[in-house]
Structure 1
């Protein structure tokens, strides 16, 4: 029962009725633009899904620009010029966003190298050569020590 509810549950949108535009076509454009813009407070939610005050301000800005007659690209450019490429959930691939695109792969490669190095050292330690055999002199000294200590231990 609970899984059925989860499957058919719609995402909770944070757009308040007082923010909505009267024209359904403009409201649809605002919703589509809102899906592509990141809430700078929540960071992993779109402005349509976030309840943060900044997300509400961004939703209002988007709707004001659409009402003023701006195209979708003009609205997007206005928001990006104001908040930077980070406000886009899918930032463009360019020099200033290189870290956003390449960073996860670099972190994964470093983590893989650390794990590989750990297991390589561990395997190297396990495969260490055995110590060399005792020389004749060392064997005599060992036997002498054992003879001296074994009778003492038996008496205890």
Structure 2
């Protein structure tokens, strides 16, 4: 099992690192790369068309600004693609990224998470893999139980 994590530029790495970290915590291998839809179109075509041949199961693609990367990857790959809109220095408060990834034409789905929501993208990728791999599914169940325990403990502290 392997998840590819691609981003439009190195400046997206601090956001995308959250996906890398959560996937590694679930024991899922990652392949991380920079693939610019606008500056390296040949690399984009090669990556997208061949990811499934390299053993990739899910792709997480993050980009800011015009954010064409997730949609272009999805247009060429048979794999599930999760798009992460990244709030970048040249974005319109992140809305350009969100709308570029969210508003895909019929037949080219991109599952879109919140602005800078790479952690949720990693969790979603793990859930996709968990539907076919019981050991990953159990790690997701355990993780969600940990989240529940944090909330229950916080609620108890309010009661005194």
Q: TM-score range by the shorter chain?
A: under 0.3
Q: Which has the higher contact order (CA 8 A, sep 6+)?
A: 2
Relative to its length, the structure with more helix (as a share) is: 1
| Greater C-alpha Rg | 1
TM-score by length of 1: 0.25
TM-score by length of 2: 0.24
Relative to its length, the structure with more strand (as a share) is: 2
